[in-house]
Structure 1
Amino acid sequence: MIKRLLLPFLTVFAFAGAAHPQQAADTSTPDGLVKSVVNDVMTSVRADKDMQAGNIGKISALVEQKILPNANFTKTTQIAMGRNWSKASPEQQKVITDEFKTLLIRTYAGAIAQIRDQQVQFRPYRGTPEDTDATIRTQVINKGEPIQLDYRLEKTAQGWKVYDINVLGAWLTEAYKGSFNTIANQQGVDGIIKTLQDRNRQLASAKG
């Protein structure tokens, strides 16, 4: 179930790295940050054949360097967990966040290999300097077909951070909330941890 939920989001998210290079963006604005990350990922992947072939080590390093510093993954996990987040101890929350992040990175490896000539079109952002939450709307053009891909960001003391993505009208956190609720209702918070850990072990074995 988790793999089925992840692939549509991560595949399109990887395509977002295939935008054509543009001049340096102003990362102090939410749209500028997204454009900067997109272009950085594109440049890195197109210059490295190993990442295009799905090298998990190099892709993990890319994600750690280019994407995670610009993301609030704890908030992503908290929203996806919904009411189950408050039921988890601080130790469980950390484990779930780490395992969820690892799962996304490992799944991301397969999507990275598909980056070729896709392009991204950014729709105009009409926010104000006072905004603390923003949605950046884009379209990924893949073989002539437009795919909706939006980013939700929040303004923090460290700058703008991405915490959710929307593909074809479905937000990643909402898609996961139902899955996590089902597991928690049947097996508790520990069941979510076990499901994530089992999936990560399977992906690690497949890569090995």
Structure 2
Amino acid sequence: MKKLILILLILVFTISGAFAVVSPKEQIKKTVDKVISILKDPKYKGKNKTQQRRLALRTEIGKVFDFEEMSKRSLGVYWKDRTPQEKKEFIELYKDLLERSYIDKIESYTDEEVIYTDEKVENSKYAEVKTKIITKDKKEIPIDYRLYFAGKEWKVYDIVIEGVSLVSNYRSQFNKIIRNHSYQELVKRMKTKQTEELMREK
């Protein structure tokens, strides 16, 4: 009898866990809603609040973006040649770069309308959530999120802003620098860019 009860409990928790997984669209909506609430929050308004605002945005973005997966895809064939330490360093630099690219695009939006136009799921492993930001002057800015299922939740591995894939765009830039110069030169330029951006925010 005890064994039967144990089996039933395991089944209940397993089924409950399966239904607890949110859809790709719900995952993105939850993050976007939180990002918009931060942008609207008076305590984050103004140039003197840039660092606090961006820290709050980075925290939310980091919950759903898989920066390691994005790093692999952006370095492409050059990823496998990196040492564990190089991979760790690159992920941090690339994370900073991606967050700034995304935040720069959405930071000016506060009262705009976000429409979720489509959700496509492929083999229960990959998905794309299409959204549009409708500006006050009725301009439509498409932002699509590409996700994969990471076992318990959906994670973003690429963002397509106005038809341009951030991962593909950076991969093209990175590969060109590595081919023409070296991987070390790429890292040097990323660090320089990071320093310049930090100085600009102050």
Scaled to the shorter chain, the TM-score interval is: 0.7 to 0.9
CA distance in 2, matches of 1:182, 1:69: 31
Preserved CA contact (<8 Å) 2:160 2:166: yes
Secondary structure of 2:155's partner? strand
Instruction: Tell me if the contact between 2:143 and 2:162 (Cα under 8 Å) persists in the aligned partners.
Output: yes
Superposed displacement of residue 108, structure 1: 5.2
Q: TM-score, normalised by structure 1?
A: 0.78
What's the counterpart of residue 53 of structure 1? Answer: 47
Whole-angstrom CA distance in 2 between matches of 1:162 and 1:46: 24
How far the C-alpha of 1:49 sits from its partner, in A, is: 4.3
The residue number in structure 1 matching 2:34 is: 40
Q: Are residue 164 (structure 1) and residue 183 (structure 2) matched? A: no
Contact 1:54 1:110 in 2 (8 A): no
C-alpha distance in 2, partners of 1:27/1:47? 29
| Two-structure CA RMSD over aligned residues (Å) | 2.2
Cα distance, 1:52 vs. partner?
5.0
**TM-superposition CA deviations, 1:140-197 (whole Å, max 9, x none):** 1122111221100010124111110112222111111110011111222111111110
Whether contact under 8 Å (1:30, 1:134) holds in the other structure is: yes
User: Cα 1:156–1:59, aligned 2, differ >3 Å: closer, same or farther?
Assistant: same
Q: Which residue of 1 aligns with 2:186?
A: 192
For residues 109-146 of structure 1, the C-alpha deviation after alignment (integer angstroms, 9 at most, x for no partner) is 55554123221111142548x61100001111122111
List runs of 5+ in structure 2 lacking aligned partners. 1-19
1:99 has 2:96 as partner: no
Say how many residue pairs are matched: 182
Provide the secondary structure at the position in 1 that maps to 2:183.
helix
How far apart are the structure 1 equivalents of 2:183 and 2:151? Answer: 31
Does 2:110 align with 1:116? yes
Tell me, in whole angstroms, the C-alpha distance in 2 between the residues paired with 1:177 and 1:74: 14
- Percentage of identical aligned residues: 22
Q: How does 1:1-208 map to 2 (within 5 A)?
A: 28-51=22-45, 53=47, 55-107=49-101, 110-111=104-105, 113-127=107-121, 131-142=124-135, 143-208=137-202
Residue ranges of structure 1 left out of the alignment (5+ in a row): 1-25
Q: What whole-Å deviation, never above 9, does each CA across 1:1-23 have from its counterpart, x for those lacking one?
A: xxxxxxxxxxxxxxxxxxxxxxx
With a CA cutoff of 8 Å and minimum separation of 6, indicate the structure with the bigger relative contact order.
1
TM-score normalised over the length of structure 2: 0.80
Correspondence for 1:16 = none
Stretch moving more, 131-140 or 83-92 = 83-92
SS at 2:63 equivalent: helix
Aligned in 2, Cα 1:72/1:33: closer, same or farther, shift over 3 Å? same
